Structure 1
Amino acid sequence: MTHPPRTLIARLAAPLRTAGVALAVAVPGHATANPLPVDESALVRSYRAEAQAYEHGEGVPRDGARAATLYCKAARLGDAKSQYALGWMYANGRGVERNDALASFFLRAAAEQGLAPAERLLARLPETVEVPDCMREPPAVAVVVPPPQPAAAAPAAPALPPQAAELRRSAPPMIVDLVDRLAPQYQLEPHLVLAIIRVESNFDTVARSPKNAQGLMQLIPETAQRFNVLNAYDPTQNLRGGMAYLRWLLAYFEGDLALVTAAYNAGEGAVERYRGIPPYRETRDYVRRVLETVGTVVHPFDASVTAPSAVLRGRRTAAR
């Protein structure tokens, strides 16, 4: 049997807040230590197909342990079908030793993505919060640089990444102007805000999701109330609420844009529960689309806004 080709998974980088050290922001034309995430769809299909072959002995000797390893690689990338398959294996002791805690973890991840069979099977299992080793994102290296020395003349601002520049040209001018005016008040790069808006609402001021997320930055009522937004369909109020939330998330996750964008999509609770980007296809695709546009994986943050996450603080390694 010819196995599907495997490719390397791009790692996400995250900043580490260090006294007296400024966080690096990717600049076009300069190499970065950690590439942006790639579209993982083909990789997921490859892992799942190979796992199914080993689980059922289709063209290869049956090997439950190897199947579980491959399913978990796909599960970590947000594949609900692989999460369900692995949960079922652990719940029934099929090819692996029965483990209700592991079964519960994988089935819950699949159920949270809307897989009804996983939800039904989950009902008879205990709840678990421990993240299995195979689901943990490998620690990435943060790029840090010393603070810049005073210069006689301020250097020219770096050019925007191509996708960010194209986004500014294609977005409605009124919204671009509004973002440009408001973003500095929240210490945000305007093209980050524009990237979030495009993925959330595609610049529709009256957009409303099935989960009742509203307006340009798709604020759910709880988030709107949290950041004092009275009318989520008013563009200025909506942007102020969404930007306030982004500023808070940047402080909470210490400038790690992968975690920040994942939390904007799935909630900071889900990011902490999974100790990183939740294994949801929607969330992983969301993070990829935003980071590809902004061209960096870190963003300056104001540490005075809130204390960092106690769960994820310090999990990354700093390197010069």
Structure 2
Amino acid sequence: MKTGTVSSKPRVKANYSENGIVSDLGVEKRKVFQYKQTNGVMVFSDQQPLDADYQVLLYECFACRVDSVIDWYKIPLFTSHFATDVALAARQYQLDPALIRAVIHAESAFKIGALSKAGAQGLMQLMPGTASDMDVDDPFNAQQNIRGGSRYLAQLLSQFNGDIDLTCAAYNAGPTTVMQYRGIPPYPETQAYVKRVKILLKRYQKALAS
């Protein structure tokens, strides 16, 4: 937290290459700076603070790359993968199974062993803290990961009154960030993520109904 004098150089808790990090999914990780204002409000920004201690957050997911060349309207779908687990989670948390599939597709492209540099794990890319909160002991267990991710999705849907856009934005960038901006955060990656999840959602809805 700042004091009465401005420090000459802020401390950084995490740092990464200026050129980003490319995962095994070919997704470049981009920076978001997290820091606390003097009034105690937590800020998330794509601009490095000049006079505050900060932490670098790197969001990484299959659907987050702004300059992705993937045609999201034509990319092959995974309509039968983990069918029992998705169906059970959808029924337990009263979710559209197409939404669960769209989020899994956007997060990990259905790679059960997906692990981001930021520590997100498994099919629905659960951070360790979220996994613990959702009672997930093994995030690389498909059933547990889908159950935990779906439970989290259901909580976000309830928090944001069923708004799919805000729920997806919160899943990607965190509910606090969405509340801070009172809408989808102005991060290109999050905006791309929301758009692509919605494309996938409509496609999965159509495919699962046929």
**TM-based fold match above 0.5:** yes
Pairs within 5 Å for 1:109-128: 109-111=45-47, 119=48, 122-124=49-51
> 198, 215, 226: which one pairs with 2:122?
215
Which amino acid in 2 is paired with 1:123? Answer: L
What CA distance in whole angstroms lies between the structure 1 residues aligned with 2:164 and 2:44?
Answer: 25
Pairs within 5 Å for 1:9-24: none
User: What is residue 167 of structure 2 aligned with on the other side?
Assistant: 260
Q: Partner of 2:176: helix, strand, or coil?
A: helix
Higher RCO (C-alpha under 8 Å, 6+ residues apart): 1
Q: Which runs of 5+ in 2 are unaligned?
A: 1-29, 31-36, 38-42, 53-72, 204-210
Which amino acid in 2 is paired with 1:198? Answer: H
Q: Which runs of 5+ in 1 are unaligned?
A: 1-79, 81-100, 102-106, 112-118, 126-162, 297-320
What CA distance in whole angstroms lies between the structure 1 residues aligned with 2:51 and 2:111?
Answer: 43
Which amino acid in 2 is paired with 1:110? Answer: D
**Is the 1:172–1:203 contact (alpha carbons within 8 Å) kept by the matching residues of 2?**
no
Which amino acid in 2 is paired with 1:109? Answer: S
**Is the 1:197–1:216 contact (alpha carbons within 8 Å) kept by the matching residues of 2?**
yes
What CA distance in whole angstroms lies between the structure 1 residues aligned with 2:50 and 2:115?
Answer: 31
Identical amino acids, percent of aligned pairs: 41
2:80 is the counterpart of 1:173: yes
- Deviation at 1:108? 6.1
- Deviation at 1:171? 1.1
What CA distance in whole angstroms lies between the structure 1 residues aligned with 2:102 and 2:45?
Answer: 27
The higher radius of gyration belongs to 1
**Is the 2:44–2:177 contact (alpha carbons within 8 Å) kept by the matching residues of 1?**
no
Q: Which has the higher strand share?
A: 2
Q: 1:186 to 1:108 in 2, by over 3 A?
A: closer
Pairs within 5 Å for 1:1-320: 109-111=45-47, 119=48, 122-124=49-51, 170-171=77-78, 173-295=80-202
Q: TM-score, normalised by structure 2?
A: 0.62
**Is the 2:108–2:114 contact (alpha carbons within 8 Å) kept by the matching residues of 1?**
yes
**Is the 1:176–1:194 contact (alpha carbons within 8 Å) kept by the matching residues of 2?**
no
What CA distance in whole angstroms lies between the structure 2 residues aligned with 1:265 and 1:244?
Answer: 15
Which amino acid in 1 is paired with 2:186? Answer: P
What CA distance in whole angstroms lies between the structure 2 residues aligned with 1:189 and 1:211?
Answer: 28
Q: TM-score, normalised by structure 1?
A: 0.42
Q: Partner of 1:248: helix, strand, or coil?
A: helix
What CA distance in whole angstroms lies between the structure 2 residues aligned with 1:262 and 1:214?
Answer: 18
What CA distance in whole angstroms lies between the structure 1 residues aligned with 2:182 and 2:77?
Answer: 36
What CA distance in whole angstroms lies between the structure 2 residues aligned with 1:108 and 1:266?
Answer: 9
Q: Partner of 2:82: helix, strand, or coil?
A: helix
Q: Which has the higher helix share?
A: 1
Q: What do residues 64-121 of structure 1 show as CA deviations (whole Å, max 9, x unaligned)?
A: xxxxxxxxxxxxxxxx9xxxxxxxxxxxxxxxxxxxx9xxxxx96222xxxxxxx1xx
**Is the 1:212–1:220 contact (alpha carbons within 8 Å) kept by the matching residues of 2?**
yes
